[in-house]
Each structure stands twice: as structure tokens, then as C-alpha cells.
A and B are shown apart, each in its own frame.
Chain A
């Protein structure tokens, strides 16, 4: 069944961080090479952009830094960040609050699973971006439209991973718990939820990445508010230094949120290290 396999890709994807940071020694030995590579790339970009390129074609790192300072001082960037983060978190939380309960219900009750799995699979396979113009027609160029878009991007990874986590509980453990007369609520508290938590947190992590994509699509499309608004307006004004500011910021936000959730994953479910 399709829904069952959705998380396999996740595991293959999620398998990445732990292996890479295998031993502390291995990680440190890479630092000089990384530094050199990064420095070379940035210097080459700076020199090429500053001396050889027309600013109407592209920009260079120090110009982006200057634009960053300007946009921050003028208050434009903080305002945009406020708008963007508000939409991002409200939409993401809405995805969590719907995704986890529905995932649990689908995993617990066959009837719920079979009535909903066709839709979940179909909607998850649909490129959510295709729905963006429709949602904007429905809700207008409002905050609500952007929240709904972020929600739609975020809800499915949470739902599917929750479902998957509950389904992948070791059957032996359930049998043992049942044999010792564990009640339904104790079974959930002591066996099912602890083994589902790592999957759920991994789902939250996938969801925040997708939520960011949804946020930018929504903002580029409406071109009024947030980071996407700055990107769109600066591109039209041929101010590529300004345009790159939100792009670089979004990169750091993406890395920061993903790493934060990875840390949370280790905190909440240190017993799941084998998953990663």
C-alpha cells in the first residue's frame, strides 16, 4: 500500500545526518577542506561579481551584506520577517494539530484508514503548488490564504509519519503488553507513543521544510508581504543585491529550523538513534 512506503524514502533521507557525523575525528578532519572550499567559492564570486559583471546581471557577497544592513535599518526586513514567520508558524502548527490526531486515528482504526487513505495518498502525490492559485481565488490576497497554503504543504508529512510511526511499533512489544493486561491507555502511553515519537518528530522536520516552500510560493504569488514580497519587488526593480537578502536568509532559516528539529529529535527520543 502506498501510504506504507511513504516513510521508507524518509528513512533513507533521514539516514543522512548520523552517518555523516560518524566520529568526531572524522568530522574535524573535514573542516580545513570545507573552509578552503567555501572561501574559494565566496572569493571567486566576489571578484567575478564586483569586477566583471554588470550589476544589472548579478550581484556579489559584500553588496548583499550592504543591502542586508540597509533593509534592516530601514525596517523593511524586520517587518517582512514578522509577516513571514507569523504565517509560517501558524500554518505549520495547524498542520501539526490536524496531522497528528488524524494520523493516530488512521493507524488505530481500520475504518478510518480505509476511508481516508485514497485522499491522503492522492493529495500527497499532487504537487501542492498547483492548488495555490485556487486557494488565492478563494481567500483573496490575505494572510489567511497564505496560512492555508502553508498548512496544506505541512500537514501530509506529519500525518503520514504519525501513521507510519504507530504502525511500525514492534508487534512483540504490543503482545507482551497485552499479555500483562495493559489497558488501551497504558498501551499507548508506554509502548505505542514512545516508539512513534521519533517518526512524528521526523515528520515535523519534513513538514517545516515543505512549509517554507509553501510560504515562499504563496508570497511570490501575491507579491505583497514577507520575504517573497521583497524578492519579487527587488527583482522588478533590478536590485539583485536586495533580492538576494531574503534568499540567503531563507537558506539560514531552513538550515536552522531543520537542525533545531534534529536536536529536538535527539532530545525527545534518544532511544531512536538507530533510525538515523
Chain B
């Protein structure tokens, strides 16, 4: 199918209409409060040309990568242990659900208090935002292994190791990747929040500074960057999902 399907034409028309309307309304409003697409594009060009955007973006990405990487490792390890041993599950499941239900933002002032204003604090905030979906999904995946297959494998004297390699890991994998996909979205939120409340780095700081100065056109630059990051990262994990577990391919649009 070409790119010029009816659906895409409607989408493009809708986007074009919105941008035109925004431009028209935006130009007639006080620039302190609102802005318009051309001004945002200008601000984008300016911030890219001065290198400011990439400097801050790089700081943000570093924090995101540390926190997210730690969460993937810890989440999968804990999830596997909790999924395998009932005692481990009972020992921590109350605490895990409690922390997962707490709005993690409420803990940020506390984390700042303990770990300071620098990279470790931010990494920890991102970690806390990311780890629970991965942990819970991993546990679910390990638990959701087909009982029939498990029995067959046991009957044919599969060792614990073979059982994991041939059965448990492959069937848990789609769950784990789904957890990672949920986590990356939350990680971005954590990153921005961490930057709001800690020291002067990253995209979050750009947002706060331009908001305080009422430079609305520039304020939209980090927002748009974050939107693009959200879309790209989620899409990337979806691609991995299709690659890694093609047997669980998601239902196609009818």
C-alpha cells in the first residue's frame, strides 16, 4: 500500500488545518501567553544553532539511560525471583504494590534530601518510575507459563536450567518487553520531574526557565522534543517487541 491512502490524506488534512488555525489564532494573542508554529520553528532553529538544545538533551538522555538501565536489570531479576519463589513474592508484594500505588512524585522531595541535587538523585527518580512495571510484568510472564507445557517438560525430565531456557524465558519475554514499553514512558516523566525539582540541567530545566521568563515560543521547544522522544522510544520498543516475540504478533487492524 502506498503512503497516499485515504486515511493518511485525512490525517494530513487534519494536521494542516490545525497548524493553520493555530498560526492564525496564535499571532493575534499576546506572545507572553501563547505562541504560534512559525515562532516555535524559529526558536527551535535558534536553540539548535547555539547548541543549547543538544547540550541539555544530552544531560537528560544520560540520566534517562542510567535510571532506565538499572530499572531493567533490577526489575527483571527481582521479577524472575518473585515469579519463581512464592515466599519471595509474599515477602515483598505488599511493599511493591504500595510503592507502585504511591504517586512516585510525592517521594521526589525526599530523594532530593537523601541523594542531593545531582545525577544520582535524578537517576534514582527515573529508576523508581521505571522499575515497577518491569518487575510486575516479568513476574506475570513467569507466572503465565502454560501449565500443560510445564508438565510435559517436567515429564521429559527437563532440568531447571533447560526449563528456563526453553520454556519460561521465551514465554515470559513478550510480557517483559511490554513492561519495558510501559516503563520507558514513565521514565521520561520521571526524568522531567527530577529535572524540575533538582539542579539546573536537562530539558526539564529548559522548561522551567523559559516558563519563568514567559518565553513561550522557546518553552515549546523542549516540550516538542520530549513529545518526539516519547513517540520514538515507544515505537522503538514496539519494533523490538515484534522482533523478539513474533509469535505474539499483535492483531492487525481489520
Chain A residues proximal to chain B, CB less than 8 Å = 1-2, 4-5, 8-9, 12-13, 15-16, 19-20, 29-31, 33-34, 36-38, 41, 57-58, 110-111, 114-119, 121-123, 125-134, 136-138, 171, 209, 212-213, 215-217, 220-221, 227-228, 231-232, 235, 240, 243-244, 246-247, 250-251, 254-255, 258
Do B223 and A126 touch across chains, with their CB atoms under 8 A apart?
A: yes
Complex Cα distance, B104 from A251, in Å, reads 9
- Identify the interface centre among B86, B106, B223: most chain A CB within 10 Å of its CB: B106
Contacts of B106 in A (CB 8 A): 216, 220, 227-228, 231, 246-247, 250
- Bits for B21-65, please: 1 = Cβ < 8 Å to A, else 0: 000000000000110000000000000000000000000000000
User: Which parts of B94-137 form the interface with A (CB within 8 Å)?
Assistant: 94-95, 97-99, 101-110, 113-114, 133, 136-137
B109 contact from A125, A130, A220, A254, Cβ within 8 A: A220
Could you name 5 residue pairs across A and B whose Cβ atoms are closer than 8 Å?
Answer: A2-B235, A9-B178, A29-B86, A34-B90, A122-B231
Which residues of B sit under 8 angstroms from A57, Cβ to Cβ? 113-114
Contacts of B182 in A (CB 8 A): 9, 13
Shortest Cβ distance from A114 into B: residue: B10
Q: Which residues of A contact B144 (CB under 8 A)?
A: 15, 19
Given A138-B33, A212-B103, A235-B109: A129 in contact with B193 (beta carbons within 8 A): yes
Docked pose: A121 CA to B143 CA in angstroms: 31
**Least distance between A205 CB and chain B CB atoms (Å):** 11
Query: Any chain A CB within 8 A of the CB of B15?
Result: yes
Which listed residue, B11, B90, B178, touches A115 by the CB 8 Å rule?
B11
CA distance A217 to B105 in the complex (A): 7
Mark each residue of chain B from 185 to 196: 1 if its CB lies under 8 Å from any CB of chain A, else 0: 100110111001
How near does chain A come to B201, taking the closest CB pair, in angstroms? 15
Enumerate chain A residues within 8 angstroms of B253, measured Cβ to Cβ. 1, 4
Report which of B197, B208, B226, B231 forms a contact with A133, defined as CB distance below 8 A: B208
Residues from chain B with a CB closer than 8 A to the CB of A216 are 103, 105-106
Which residues of the partner chain A approach B212 to less than 8 Å between Cβ atoms? 133
B166-212: which residues lie under 8 A (CB-CB) from chain A? 175, 178-179, 181-182, 185, 188-189, 191-193, 196-197, 203-204, 207-208, 211-212
Interface residue count on the B side (C-beta < 8 Å): 74
| Contact, CB under 8 Å: A8 / B178 | yes
| B98 A251 Cβ-Cβ under 8 A | yes
What CA separation (Å) do A212 and B101 show in the bound complex? 10
Q: Given the complex of chains A and B, what is the CA–CA distance between A110 and B13 in angstroms?
A: 14
| Cα distance A251–B214 in the bound complex, in angstroms | 35
Cβ distance A154 to chain B, nearest Cβ, rounded Å: 13
| Interface: B93 (CB within 8 A) | yes
B154 to A: closest C-beta gap in Å: 20
Q: What residue of chain A has the Cβ atom nearest to residue B91's Cβ? A: A37
Q: Is the CB of B98 within 8 A of A130?
A: no
Asked if B230 is at the interface of the complex by the 8 Å CB criterion, the answer is yes
Known: A34-B94, A118-B15. A13 touches B137 (CB 8 A): yes
